[in-house]
Structure 1
Amino acid sequence: MEATWDINFTSQFEKDAKRLDKSGLGGWLTGLSFLKDGPKVDNKQLKALKKQSKAFRWRKGDLRVIFRVVGQSRSILLLAARHRKDVYKKPPSDKQEIAGSFDELLVRMHSNKSLNDEKYKVSAMQNAMKNAMQKALIFTPDNGQAELEEIFIDEADLFLLDIPQEYYPLILDVKGLSSLEGKGIPSSVKRRLEDYLTAPSTDHIGKIYSLDQSNDIDAIANHTLDRFLVSLDPQQKSIVEKPFDGGPWLIRGGPGTGKTLINLARIKRIYQEGIGDDLLQHGSIKTGFITFNKQLSKSAEAMFKAISIDSSGGDVSFSTLDSLVMSLLGNAGKESKVVFEKEQAAVLNLVMGSVNDERWDEKYISTIQQRRGSSFILEEFDQIILGNGLTKEEDYLSFTRKGRKVALLSKERGLIHRLYRLWSKEMTRRGWSTFAGRRLTVERMIYQGQLDISRNCYDYLFIDELQDLSVTAIRLLAHLVKYPKNLTFTADTAQSIYLKSPSWSNISNNIRFHPGNSFILRKSYRITSEIDRAVKPLRLNAGDTEKDNDGIEQTIFSGEKPCWLNCSLDNHPSAAAELSKSLIEKDINPGQIAIITPDKKTTDLVQQALSSYGVPSDVFQKNRGLDINSKAVHLLHAHVVKGLEFPFVIVTGIVEGKYPPYSAVQAAKDNVQLEETMDNARRLLYVALSRAARGLWMLTDELMPSPLLTYLNQEDWTYREKRVNSTLKKPYEIKSHVSGIQYACGEIILSQYFQVGDILVTNREKNNIHDSNAIFLTHNKKKIGYIPRDLAALVANVIDQGMNVYVRIICINDSSLYSGLTISISMPSQEKGRQASKPKNIQRFKDIYKPYH
């Protein structure tokens, strides 16, 4: 019978085979030839997980060969070949690319000659098979009978089930549950395994949340957040256990890969194992953990306490970058006051008239702020000039402005740097500063030997959320460790809302990364494949090439599709409260649930709704970290959730005006700035949605959809509509804007043509080739623009029923390109309720704000 299965191997399997061959163990490889007829194992006890390829084990005496059936391709991939004592200590490599075919491996193992000659290749194959068969005759380790069996559970399942690690080798090496008898495994663990394997659910998450809740050890649903956050998965353990020599270290990875936990676990190792004692001259080893904001710092400290009950003798400090800068400045830092955009913009406006440089005439100077905007210029000061230490004009002019989409002419750059110098001088005169300015001041003082940091230097320094730090900030931190090899960085470039990944050549000659000290965590043992697939279209890597991609390539566990819940924005708080209550009624600990909001107003409304439903809540406070032992639903803003994870997440307010915010859209002066604003909002939404590990709900409103929703694929979501108060009440009023105003800023002054209170006339345009519901607006019989497309179906329905729609101007904004006229749309009630297209038909941002013709 002709063989119908392909057998391939990984590079790790080849290494294992050569190692066994050198140890004198030969012939076993040919014994795997029977797999060409397919792995014939029948185990009816198992309920296979959906979309999960099966793993098998071939055993002969003390030898174990692990392989996997690859999808539906009738092919087998050989993963590992080791002695029993070794095969479970080190799981098969994450890199499971095919390195070659089984027959090629036989030739490689039993011949050293070149295989370029096809005639010789056939001969070599025959000789290799003959030699292998001869060795197989004498291969009888332990005189055991070879057996093939399906692996009934793997290491990932044991991690998910929270099985104590000391039982892993015993469980992984048996054929099934019945073989666990007499192995010294507690009955509670065996019961949990049996419940898991026989649960009717076809996905991992459904299985673990259907376990018996009557016993604390099985009640995964009842765990508080700390149990979820501080459990090391197999991938994390492999990094934690790496030696400390060979640094500095860079650990990159997407959401749910546990970068922060790896740092904390390695800090724990320093004190438990006495690592670094040889560095001691006096006192204890000093270790620092630095991250971007106070909330993350406090949360990391709480996680460290959870994994390090006894850290006696350890000098570990958790701090933010700017708290560290303030302590380094000492009294000098108290002499200046950090001010924000409003005060900074006031100083910028003041110095605009005092440039006094023949390179730029008065007209050019007066138009640059109008053309670029104060927010853009201040960001250029903060992110580019101060963030990279470009205080000299020539350095700024030659700098590649990585991360900013808006290109600047050389003449513009020169003027912006001149404005920066004037602005900086005036800020200093007033006793004002910025966080970026303080960082640069401290970095320069340390570099020039003007600041004594001997009492602030660390033996080991762990820097979390690297993607949020500027080049200046990283240089500063690199000064604060005694030996650069004891630096560790963690990063996910897609979670950077504003910055691009750094160029290490601009930071320090002592910091270089290569495959030996740089790792990308490609597996996620937390976020399910369904959630990862649904939110991945929003991901934007901060780098420009494939090597800058930190994304997840393999999710280990499966679950339900995330839910796209559409309802009126006014009902988002109550919908979030209902969802939370329904989860709690399934015996899920409230501490496993997080509700992420776009702003404080929404947070307050959600908290009120939770209270009315009798659901306890814990609002994330700036002066403290996440309470990982809380038994209340966590309430957080989207801007503070980076680095955090929760089993269940509800994200509210994903509507136009929130993602991106109206203020950011109105501040954009041209399409390029608008695109940059959109990218920032896209990264923020990705961060919010990717906090979910096991269940995700996204709340939208079809009448005011966020333009970012068009990046998502609706087939990756379970789409639901929640009709609350769907019948329109009288009077019904919607605040919106006129779509299609195309004038560039400064080209026309809208306030010269319109007044607040002016009435605009609605006109149906059924022959519009883009939208049969299109409605254009006229003013004094002149066409000026359209009702936004996302509202067109609703308004058209009212007009087609013979009812009147009143549109009046309520705000005129001459400083924005698109939202020049804000309007109020008033309509009588209609019994048919709100009628609009589903999100899959939402147009992209650039189309929503443009006319149809």
Structure 2
Amino acid sequence: MATLGIHKDFLMEFARLEKPVQKRVHEVFDKFREHRHAGLHLEKLEKARDPRIRTIRITQFMRGVVLAPESGGSFLLLKVMPHDDAIAWAVKHRVTVNSATQGIELRDDVALERATAGVRELAGEGSRRLFANVSEKDLVRLGVDADLLPLVRHLSDEAQLDALAKILPEQQYDVLAGLAAGMEPEEVWREVVLAQLVRAPAAEPRRPGDGSAERAGRPDELSAAMARSQGRIALVSGPDELLDILTRPFDAWRIFLHPSQQKVAYHPSYKGPARVTGGPGTGKTVVALHRALHLARGLPADAPDESILLTTYTRDLATDLRHSLELLIPEPELRARIRVANVDALANQLVREDRGAPLNIVTAQRDISARWARIAERLGVEYTDVFLDQEWRQVVLAQDLRSPEVYLRASRSGRGTPLGPLKRAQVWRAVDAFTRELRESAEWTFLQVCAEATEVLKRRGEDRPYRHVVVDEAQDLHPAQWRLLRALVRPGPDDLFIAGDTHQRIYGNKVSLRSLGIEVTGRSARLRINYRTTREILAWSTALLTGEQVDDMDGGDDSLTGYRSTYQGPPPRLLGSATKSEEIAALVAQIGEWTGSDVAPSEIGIAVRFTQLGKDIAKALERSGLPASLLGSSSKVGDGVRIGTMHRMKGLEFRCVAAAGVSDGVVPLRNAVTAEEVDAQQHREDLLGELSLLFVACTRAREALRVSWHGNPSPFLGRIRV
């Protein structure tokens, strides 16, 4: 049986092909599995840079481009394009094996030759050199080809390097981008090169110049090189697997591991809690899913079902994780070993079962704020309902303080308004009254339920519900929720696996993992390559957070240094309108353009700051004949354009995204930001939260981003200089 590799670029492009072409692609390449490809007329090309690259007829107007060795049963599907485009692409490209990673790489030889000549011409004597401080020995050791060294040595800045991203062999671009971002050669070796050797047969890297590139055509070499490239190539060994990938190409890519992710997800065993961080689109959720699979496979045969917990912040995100887990693990028996539930739902279940009765949980923030306001007025407390609620959540509940004496001695780090002993006593009177009222009315908040669930588990002693806990979107969890997670699993090897990015913190919950007994030092990994968003969208979105200091949940600062994308596309479009109706009309026209360009409505997301604007947009789309679905509504989400608040967009991704209503007074939303005179520190934290919210919404886009407003634009948009 033949082995067919599908290059990632094709996998991403397949969904955009017309349905009859998609069907024909499947029919043609299904024949490879039984070596019936002999009758498929793999045509050689005149003047091809790589004689092993052939073309194959798909339809009258479309051709596939295939790497087809003279002998052996391994083939690599590279492209499906219109006839003339396929021929032009095929004659210019060559497939080689990277000297350091031993993985397949594509190179546009014609474009590289032109680029080398052009960069040499631009480079003047004595001008700055981007890689002047990197030795040739290090460049070659990291897999940069000797014939590319003249080009690399003449680059003067990162802009030139980025301009070459589409034509440089991808693994070599990753190495150069890491060096350009300030990483040391050894750091690039560990994070870029070694990460791609995790699955390598005969895993030791080859020495440069040993002829590995020239031997890429040998049957064993091509098969092994494709196996070593599973961050870029999907291997297909049967018709069912091919059908599954081609039926759901975006879903397949969503659970597909890249080399840097593979190393983290399939680490044999961590001695304690482990963590993976990285910006949007770097694949943290994919890593968490694969880590859950790895742990499930390692369970003893007698382990009960749901021995592993895969958890996250909200119910919507848990639903998305459950769907992805079904894609990743088709076997029901193996999937049954993993339970997917959001933290609050799990806490609710534990307390409900302990008490033998359902809980009455107060979920509306306006009801909580109204209660604080009534208590403050009744007791004559001088602080606002907003200040009291934040003090309760961020100090009292965060540190699990249960008496006025403990509160008087507690640290209030991160709170901007100082409180002396008398004022703390005043605040505690309000806290005591608030919790007493809830108790008397048999009401709970979610954080109280989490705290009580932790006590329930403590009373059980050494009996813990799970053997392993995997946490996604960790940055948004409150310390009370972290104490529950710590109590769910006995400390030891592979107890907690944590995925998150503090640049995407949108709920204002700050935490020190170390203070909660979760020590990840020496077991943390950072992902730096964005596999979702184009370079242009990423640069624009990242500029929103330029200059902001963001913590790393472990006592240090986090950074987006070295964070980069592997894709290119058009820059984001920004458009202002005089009125809301004009903004919505222009947005509807844009959606029409996208759908007219073969983008399915369900592949388009519209992010808004508040629900009513989303409803107005949905009505306008439906009047124009475009289907729309409101995320989070009681109605079932259909195949329409997805519309949701920026909070609802968390964890989702779309081919095209429109951030609408990004107007002054709306982003940031006035009532979501603490007044500076109430608490200056909290005011800054709230602004950062709103900024992160816009950052999250914009980085949901894969190919196209549109940002619009009516009236005056958000002041956040004035921060961007790209």
* 1:548 counterpart residue number: 557
Q: Distance in 1 between matches of 2:435 and 2:248?
A: 52
Q: Distance in 2 between matches of 1:339 and 1:239?
A: 37
Q: Distance in 2 between matches of 1:678 and 1:321?
A: 26
What SS does structure 2 have at the residue aligned with 1:330? helix
Q: Distance in 1 between matches of 2:212 and 2:592?
A: 41
* 1:334 counterpart residue number: 358
* Contact kept? 1:578, 1:613, Cα under 8 Å: no
* 2:511 counterpart residue number: 502
Q: Distance in 2 between matches of 1:100 and 1:175?
A: 23
* 1:512 counterpart residue number: 519
From 404, 424, 430, give the equivalent of 1:413. 424
* 1:343 counterpart residue number: 367
* 1:24 counterpart residue number: none
Q: Distance in 2 between matches of 1:605 and 1:339?
A: 25
* Contact kept? 1:618, 1:632, Cα under 8 Å: yes
1:381 aligns with 2:422: no
From 286, 293, 299, give the equivalent of 1:261. 286
1:681 aligns with 2:690: yes
* Contact kept? 2:462, 2:490, Cα under 8 Å: no
**Structure 1 residue identity aligned to 2:326:** K
Deviations 1:122-153 (A, max 9, x none): xxxxxxxxxxxxxxxxxxxxxxxxxxxxxxxx
Shift of 1:350: 4.0
**Structure 2 residue identity aligned to 1:276:** L
From 439, 459, 462, give the equivalent of 2:467. 459
* Contact kept? 1:252, 1:520, Cα under 8 Å: yes
When the two structures are aligned, how many residues end up with a matched partner? Answer: 540
* 1:289 counterpart residue number: 310
Q: Distance in 1 between matches of 2:514 and 2:673?
A: 35
What value does the CA root-mean-square deviation take over the aligned residues? Answer: 4.5
1:712 aligns with 2:706: no
Shift of 1:400: 3.3
What SS does structure 2 have at the residue aligned with 1:347? helix
**Structure 2 residue identity aligned to 1:325:** A
* 1:530 counterpart residue number: 536
1:244 aligns with 2:251: no
Q: Distance in 2 between matches of 1:100 and 1:228?
A: 30
From 314, 324, 328, give the equivalent of 1:307. 328
Cα separation, partners in 2 of 1:245 and 1:549, compared to 1, 3 Å:
closer
From 591, 594, 599, give the equivalent of 1:583. 594
From 504, 521, 524, give the equivalent of 2:527. 521
From 397, 415, 432, give the equivalent of 2:443. 432
From 260, 263, 275, give the equivalent of 2:298. 275
Structure 2 unaligned runs (5+)?
A: 1-106, 120-129, 157-169, 187-191, 206-210, 227-241
**Structure 1 residue identity aligned to 2:526:** I
Q: Distance in 1 between matches of 2:573 and 2:454?
A: 47
Cα separation, partners in 2 of 1:48 and 1:326, compared to 1, 3 Å:
farther
Deviations 1:191-231 (A, max 9, x none): xxxxxxxxxxxxxxxxxxxxxxxxxx99x999664244223
TM-score normalized with structure 1 length:
0.56
* 2:154 counterpart residue number: 74
What SS does structure 2 have at the residue aligned with 1:575? helix
* Contact kept? 1:531, 1:696, Cα under 8 Å: yes
Deviations 1:245-279 (A, max 9, x none): 423111111111111111111222334xx3132xx
From 581, 584, 592, give the equivalent of 1:573. 584
What SS does structure 2 have at the residue aligned with 1:574? helix
Shift of 1:174: 8.0
Q: Distance in 1 between matches of 2:178 and 2:249?
A: 33
Cα separation, partners in 2 of 1:228 and 1:607, compared to 1, 3 Å:
farther
* Contact kept? 2:473, 2:500, Cα under 8 Å: yes
Q: Distance in 2 between matches of 1:419 and 1:396?
A: 13
**Structure 1 residue identity aligned to 2:154:** R
Q: Distance in 1 between matches of 2:444 and 2:420?
A: 28
**Structure 2 residue identity aligned to 1:396:** Y
**Structure 2 residue identity aligned to 1:44:** V
**Structure 2 residue identity aligned to 1:534:** W
What SS does structure 1 have at the residue aligned with 2:661? strand
Matches within 5 A, 1:783-802: none
* 1:393 counterpart residue number: 404
* Contact kept? 1:268, 1:311, Cα under 8 Å: no
* 1:44 counterpart residue number: 110
Shift of 1:310: 1.8
* 2:36 counterpart residue number: none
What SS does structure 2 have at the residue aligned with 1:514? coil
Shift of 1:442: 2.0
* Contact kept? 2:351, 2:456, Cα under 8 Å: no
Identity of aligned residues (%): 21
Q: Distance in 2 between matches of 1:453 and 1:322?
A: 22
1:478 aligns with 2:486: yes
Deviations 1:497-538 (A, max 9, x none): 243542233212xx31223x1111122222222222212233
What SS does structure 2 have at the residue aligned with 1:44? helix
Shift of 1:49: 8.8
Cα separation, partners in 2 of 1:505 and 1:245, compared to 1, 3 Å:
closer
* Contact kept? 2:602, 2:640, Cα under 8 Å: yes
Shift of 1:179: 8.0
* 2:654 counterpart residue number: 646
TM-score normalized with structure 2 length:
0.65
Q: Distance in 1 between matches of 2:480 and 2:258?
A: 34
Q: Distance in 2 between matches of 1:636 and 1:48?
A: 46
Q: Distance in 1 between matches of 2:114 and 2:325?
A: 37
* 2:700 counterpart residue number: 691
With 669-678 and 239-248 compared, the bigger mean Cα shift is at: 669-678
Q: Distance in 1 between matches of 2:535 and 2:503?
A: 18
Higher helix share: 2
Cα separation, partners in 2 of 1:619 and 1:523, compared to 1, 3 Å:
same
Shift of 1:697: 0.9
* Contact kept? 2:370, 2:385, Cα under 8 Å: no
Q: Distance in 2 between matches of 1:70 and 1:246?
A: 45
1:660 aligns with 2:668: yes
Shift of 1:74: 3.3
Cα separation, partners in 2 of 1:381 and 1:519, compared to 1, 3 Å:
same
Deviations 1:744-784 (A, max 9, x none): xxxxxxxxxxxxxxxxxxxxxxxxxxxxxxxxxxxxxxxxx
